[in-house]
Structure 1
Amino acid sequence: MNIDQIEHKTEIDMSVELAGIRMKNPILTASGICGYGLEYLPYLDLGKMGAFTTKSITLEPRDGNPAPRMAETRAGLLNSIGLANVGVDKFIVEKLPQARRLDIPIFVNVAGRTVEEYCEVASRLDEQDAIAGLELNISCPNVACGALEFGVDADQAGMLVSAVRKVVKKRKLIVKLTPNVTDISDLARAVVDAGADILSLINTLRGMTINIENRHPILPRGVGGLSGPAVKPVAVYCIWKVYNEVAGKQNIPIIGIGGVQYWSDAIELMLAGATAVAMGTVMYVNPQAPLEALVGMEDYCRRHKVDRIADIIGTAEPPRAI
């Protein structure tokens, strides 16, 4: 091809910033999908992404739920993993040194059964320089309150985040919000007031599937978390609502999660108010999806004459009927 026929591509600034954490691009992994970071290396160069989020880490090792842990649906995936992980001590000694080789910001997802467990795990991880931020999974049952999930009650969520904030001094504190609530903005407001630096949303929706031949739930525990394309409209709405009612007003960045398959999905979440976008379920089908999305996002910016992708954050027009 003649060099004159090659279209000159304008350089797009794809970097974004999450509460002082610079990401070279807005795409990261959702918690759980890539394990501790090494599992996907044969299939995806994670170092080309903006950041990486680990699976949930708890105080003690957990075996997780019995198999099957996943059930495919027509528009997504139900999972009931049960927070299987090696525990915080082994994670720090064996897994974290390997993950830091990715040379991108590392976010560690933190889970627990009690406030004390969350605080113990978070305080140990706060001392690790390889970690950029801690993501609190507040969708865990609080055993001190009859197994009520921390994340479905704004007061409980605020209390948990406030306690963890007291022990997390060096890392950014990310709080992952569940959509299984009446008003997600109330939840967002509570955790921001309690000290959250960054919000990530949405976590999975509760769901269930039944084998119609034997009439048993397919997942041994019955209920699982629904992810995949079915939840994307819910994610867009929740991000738009939280951005406009809470986060945008207080300059709190949002990591958008939920049903992102293609570049257009990622752009949609950013227009709704997300600063960065996490991809998850799609990577079971196409491990290269995050890098493919980045190409499409750059092309979108060129077509719309956007020099910095950060400039599109929260720029969706208000509904016409309002």
Structure 2
Amino acid sequence: MKQETIFAHAKFSNPFMNASGVHCMTIEELKDLEKSEAGAYITKSSTLEKREGNPSPRYVDLALGSINSMGLPNLGFHYYLDYALEQQKHQETPLFFSIAGMSQEENIEMLKLIQDSAFSGITELNLSCPNVPGKPQMAYDFQATEDLLKKVFIFFKKPLGVKLPPYFDLVHFDQMADILNNFPLTYVNSVNSIGNALFIDSKEEAVVIKPKNGFGGLGGQYIKPTALANVRAFYTRLKPEIQIIGTGGIETGRDAFEHLLCGATMLQIGTALHKEGPGIFARISKELQEIMDEKGYRSIDEFRGKLKSL
């Protein structure tokens, strides 16, 4: 298979998966992903206890993407862990497990539960949820991020990746990469939505989502250039053992090709999956294959990370 991908020392049929938060809240939705053409899939970012999240409307599709302020609605850590343990008994499509604690202590507690469980897949620690009122994004506090990772890797020995928000300053790429390179991370997922955007319905003279007076995370095509910059920045700064998942603005095979060219190994799809449903994985995989065939590439590794500068 031309799109086979080696990630975390395992072989994936293709690099595509859902972004956590999209089509992964319930077991029914997760089973849809398991049956799709995705190379892997990931659970909803969970907190220890079930959360209702923010009031609706909290997600709106826009012409070039989406805006949301979901507030981490999820069915609770144990709901997803029970599913993951059951799923891996007949594992056909690899499963990633996402957590996003409301505090450093909650993250550590969930990671200890995963470490002590029979779960043998990959865990994603979401350090970048921009939509919980009153809670800052952990990954914008570099010292707090470093402190948390130091505590985590004392006891956590299973594959672990971190999901990061977008950064906008070259110095911040340098500083965060310096921190991440000190730890045995499996991967970095870049990027989460751009936090605290505002979209206005000019006819109604009003915002379009209810929480936080309309401020929410921006996703989709709006954020692709930012996502590509972050993927490239971390690919060129992180040690080779830390792989990259590219997320942000992927809705065509060409978008996927550009993320791979910047250095991503796996690719997560959020807004476009929400708009199109799990059938999107077959379409995007086919479109990527057409680009590879046209360019004469027999595998992703022939071009991955090989973006040219002028």
State if a TM-score over 0.5 links the two structures: yes
Q: Which segments of 5 or more consecutive residues in structure 2 lack a partner in the other structure?
A: none
Instruction: Kindly state the Cα deviation for residue 40 of structure 1 after the two structures are TM-superposed.
Output: 3.9
Render the CA deviation track for 1:277-318: whole Å, top value 9, x for unaligned. 111111122222211111122222222222222222101112
**Is 1:228–1:281's contact at 8 Å kept on the other side of the alignment?**
yes
Instruction: Give the 3 Å change call, closer, same or farther, for CA 305–293 of structure 1 in structure 2.
Output: same
Paired amino acid for 1:119: I
Larger radius of gyration: 1
Q: Distance in 1 between matches of 2:53 and 2:174?
A: 31
**1:258 corresponds to which residue?**
248
**1:225 corresponds to which residue?**
217
Instruction: Kindly state the Cα deviation for residue 71 of structure 1 after the two structures are TM-superposed.
Output: 2.5
**1:195 corresponds to which residue?**
184
Instruction: Give the 3 Å change call, closer, same or farther, for CA 82–131 of structure 1 in structure 2.
Output: farther
- Over aligned residues, Cα RMSD in angstroms? 2.4
Q: Distance in 1 between matches of 2:148 and 2:33?
A: 35
Q: TM-score, normalised by structure 1?
A: 0.85
Q: Distance in 2 between matches of 1:217 and 1:44?
A: 29
Q: Does 1:35 align with 2:27?
A: no
Q: Distance in 2 between matches of 1:37 and 1:13?
A: 32
**1:139 corresponds to which residue?**
128
- Report the 3-state secondary structure (helix = DSSP H, G, I; strand = E; otherwise coil) of the residue aligned with 1:57: coil
**1:161 corresponds to which residue?**
149
**Is 1:106–1:131's contact at 8 Å kept on the other side of the alignment?**
no
Q: Distance in 2 between matches of 1:203 and 1:88?
A: 21
**1:237 corresponds to which residue?**
229
Q: 1:205 aligns with which of 180, 188, 194?
A: 194
Q: Distance in 1 between matches of 2:198 and 2:91?
A: 36
**Is 1:180–1:205's contact at 8 Å kept on the other side of the alignment?**
no
Q: Distance in 1 between matches of 2:211 and 2:25?
A: 25
Q: Which segments of 5 or more consecutive residues in structure 1 lack a partner in the other structure?
A: 1-11
Instruction: Give the 3 Å change call, closer, same or farther, for CA 44–195 of structure 1 in structure 2.
Output: closer
Paired amino acid for 2:148: L
Question: What are the equivalent positions in structure 2 for 1:172-321 lying under 5 Å apart?
Answer: 172-180=159-167, 182=169, 183-206=172-195, 207-212=197-202, 213=204, 215=206, 218-221=209-212, 222-244=214-236, 246-247=237-238, 249-287=239-277, 288-318=279-309, 320=310
- Report the 3-state secondary structure (helix = DSSP H, G, I; strand = E; otherwise coil) of the residue aligned with 2:297: coil
**2:59 corresponds to which residue?**
70
Q: Distance in 2 between matches of 1:97 and 1:149?
A: 29
- Report the 3-state secondary structure (helix = DSSP H, G, I; strand = E; otherwise coil) of the residue aligned with 2:60: strand
**2:10 corresponds to which residue?**
21
**Is 1:153–1:187's contact at 8 Å kept on the other side of the alignment?**
no
Question: What are the equivalent positions in structure 2 for 1:44-63 lying under 5 Å apart?
Answer: 46-63=35-52
**Is 1:162–1:195's contact at 8 Å kept on the other side of the alignment?**
no
Q: Distance in 2 between matches of 1:238 and 1:37?
A: 30
Instruction: Kindly state the Cα deviation for residue 259 of structure 1 after the two structures are TM-superposed.
Output: 0.5
Paired amino acid for 1:122: L
Paired amino acid for 2:285: L
- Report the 3-state secondary structure (helix = DSSP H, G, I; strand = E; otherwise coil) of the residue aligned with 1:250: coil
